[in-house]
Every structure is written in C-alpha cells, then in structure tokens.
Structure 1
Amino acid sequence: MKKINVAIADDQILFRKGMIGIINGLADTQITIEADNGRTLLEAIATSETKPDIVLLDLSMPELNGVETTKILHADYPDIKIIILSVHSDERFVAHLMELGINAYLFKNVEPSEVEKAILAVIEKGFYFNEVFLKAMKNRMLGKKPRLLIQDNIPSTLTQRELEVLDLICRQYTAQEIAEKLFISTRTVDGHRNNLLEKTGVRNTAGLVVFAIKNNLLDPSALL
C-alpha cells in the first residue's frame, strides 16, 4: 500500500505537533503539509507537487476558518478528502458540515487509534462516521419536527437497485464488496453511485449517508 499523504491545519501548536507525531508513527500515513490556518494550508497545497490525499482540518482558526477552507478545497481540489477535528459537538453544526461535503468529523478527544481508523475508512470507503456522530444524527432526527424538504420527492426517483447500493454504501461496504454481494461489476457499482450523487445533489459518499438518514431510508441505529 502506498503512503497516504496527509495535510494538517490547526492553530493550536501543541495539538498539531501531537497529531503530526501520531500520523507519522502510523504504518501507511505521513504528514506532507503543516499549517496554522486555512489560508496557509491552501497556499501550501497550491505550491506542492504532491497533493495530499486527506486534510485534517480544525474549525476555529485565524485568517481562514475550517468551514470556509472546506468550501475552497471542494471547489479547487474535489479529490482531497476532509476530516474535521473539532471540540464542537452541536448536532446541527455537525450535520451542516456533512452537507458541505466533509468525509469525517472527529472530536479532539478521540483515541489515536480512531484517527487511524478514520483515515483508512475515508480512503477506502469515502467516509467515516463514529458512534458519537451516528447517535447525534439519530437524536436530531427523532427530535426534528416533520416538515417538507426540497428533496422529499427524490427518494421516489431512485430505482430499487440504486436503493440497494445506497444501503450497502451506508453500511460501509467497499465498491468491490458491493459488486460481489449484488453479483454485478465494480464499474456498475460506480455507475449507480454516480447516479445517486447526481439525483440527490450531494457532494460525496458521506453526503449520501446523511441523505439516507434525513430521508428515513436508513436508521442510524443500524450503523452503530
């Protein structure tokens, strides 16, 4: 397995240096870019010959915060995966970031082993949702008052096969595993995934999971 190139942006020096030590200590990952704010991060990526596979991004930073940096990264470097590292646990805020297209959201008090788990999952499956996030999503949906959504009519446009692929994506199966389970080719799986992205209007696989939860196509409890 080739090394996973990771960039990190966090203005807390002690935390950033600690994360760099953890990432560089893992078997298949290495820090290639270090920054103390979003603007410095973007400048470093622009001039780097090797773009990072993943960006570990703090939310509260000077110059350019994590939310604005996320928007620019998606516009300029859509292939770069984003993992947010934050102390904020507000469910509405977390869900909003997922809708912006991040691939994982980790609280800063997680164990180093979970950081590694998240990085590998994001590379292999496109997203990583831990138990804290899934419980937050479940609580939000249980406490949410019913209301009409713009996408209320979208689930009805999905074919049975697309719904099957969506369910397996949410359950963290890889494209190869989905292909084997449904007796189709990986190219066909990719085709269904692209159709799902186009129909739902979300940015990535993580967005598909959020879409499924919000539209009651999946109970978050099933992923715990």
Structure 2
Amino acid sequence: MMSYSVVVVDDHNLLSQAIGGLVDGFDKFSVLYTCKNGQELIDKLKNPRNIPDIVLMDVNMPIMNGIEATSHLYRNFPQVKILALSIEEDEDTILKMLRAGARGYLMKDVKKSELQVALLELIEKGYYHTNTVAKVLVDSLSGKERSIDTLKEREIEFIRHACTEKTYKEIADEMFLSPKTIEGYRNSIFEKLNLRNRTGLVIYAIKHKIFVP
C-alpha cells in the first residue's frame, strides 16, 4: 500500500506530537518529521529527501509564520499540498492562508475522522474545503467581505473617527483635511469594502478590531 508523507509544522511541541501521532495512525499516511516554524521547514526542504506530499501548517508561529511559509512553498514547491491547521478562525486569516497557497483550512479541535478525510481528499482531489471555508471563498469572490489589507493608513484613521459620534466635518477638522477629501475617503472605503453606509462601516470596524467600543 502506498504511503504518503506528511510534515507537521507547529511551535507547540506537545500538540505537534499529538497531531503526528494521529496521522501515523491513519492508513496511507506517515509523518516524515515535524518543525517548530516556517523557517525550520524551509531549511529542511533544501534536502530533496525531506520534501513531503502534505504539510500540516500552523498559522501563528515565531520566526516565520504559516502565511509566509505557505507562500514560499507555493512558489518553490507547488507539488506539496498544504493544509492549514490552526486555532485562528477569523475570515481574514483563512483568506490569507488560502491566497498564500493552502489547499484547505481546519481548526485544531477537528475530529480525528475529519482530519483523515481531509488528508485523503488532498491526495485525491487536490484540496479540502469545509463548509466554513467554502462560504469564506464565495463571500470573497462575490465581494461581500473584502480584506482590510486594501486600506491605507489614513483610511483606517478615518474609520476610527467615523465609529464615533463626530460629524464628517468634525472628522475633517481632526485629520486636518478638507470636507471634500474626507468625502473621498468615505466613498473609497465604501467601495473597497463593499459597504453602503456608516452603520455598516462601524460593524466592519468592530468585527475586524479596527475600532474597539
């Protein structure tokens, strides 16, 4: 029976070992090695013998995080299938990992059976998308939820002011800008984030921690 190699990248040793133990218990899969961060993985991949079929990638790690490591692998080792395995469940993080090249995204509290299914589908289909991830992708494509990365620093500053009771004229005074410029910021932000009004902007800002009430 063919066995597919898996590498676990996670800065928590106990968790990494636990995940590795689960994977080793699955038919058709075995753990090649584990890494504590993205840089350690990239260093390992310099040896062709260390190139796995699948990488289970954490997102938040020191030295080099999962998004940076995934982007590097996607550019240099496109044959390696990356499955994000994280405690982060916000939509921005999911999108960033998928855009970097991850073929799927799972939470770390996933059931053993779903992890096994995910690994099998990565091999057979090339990807594994939960209902949550599928929704995030659809919303992204339809423009329902656009990334905070599209915002400029002054636009973020405007959003924080807009989340208060200040009028647009008062915001213009605070930012030392003309009311016309502030109106331009507002229209640009509404278009970038696909929003229709100030209420929607406040909700977006709170959700993405731009503004903390």
TM-score (norm 2): 0.63
Q: CA deviation at 1:137?
A: 4.1
Q: Which residue of 1 aligns with 2:77?
A: 77
CA separation in 2, counterparts of 1:145 and 1:51?
35
CA separation in 1, counterparts of 2:69 and 2:143?
31
Q: Is the 8 A contact 1:6 1:29 kept in 2?
A: yes
Q: CA deviation at 1:109?
A: 1.1
- Segments ≥4 residues shifted beyond 3 Å: 135-143
Equivalenced residues, count: 146
Q: Which residue of 1 aligns with 2:203?
A: none
Q: Which gives a bigger RCO, structure 1 or 2 (Cα 8 Å, sep 6+)?
A: 1
Q: CA deviation at 1:121?
A: 0.4
Q: CA deviation at 1:135?
A: 3.7
Q: Is the 8 A contact 1:7 1:33 kept in 2?
A: yes
Q: Is the 8 A contact 1:56 1:85 kept in 2?
A: yes
Q: Which residue of 2 aligns with 1:8?
A: 8
Which residue identity does 2:84 align to in structure 1? Answer: I
Which residue identity does 2:119 align to in structure 1? Answer: I
Q: Is the 8 A contact 2:122 2:128 kept in 1?
A: yes
**Aligned positions of 1:54-133 closer than 5 A:** 54-133=54-133
Which residue identity does 1:94 align to in structure 2? Answer: I
Q: Is the 8 A contact 1:54 1:82 kept in 2?
A: yes
SS of the residue aligned with 1:46? coil
Q: Is the 8 A contact 1:70 1:102 kept in 2?
A: yes
SS of the residue aligned with 2:22? helix
Q: CA deviation at 1:60?
A: 0.8
Which residue identity does 1:92 align to in structure 2? Answer: D
When residues 28 and 63 of structure 1 are mapped into structure 2, their CA distance, relative to the original with a 3 A threshold, is same
CA separation in 1, counterparts of 2:70 and 2:140?
23
| Structure 2 unaligned spans of 5+ | 147-213
CA separation in 2, counterparts of 1:71 and 1:142?
24
Which residue identity does 2:104 align to in structure 1? Answer: A
Q: CA deviation at 1:64?
A: 0.8
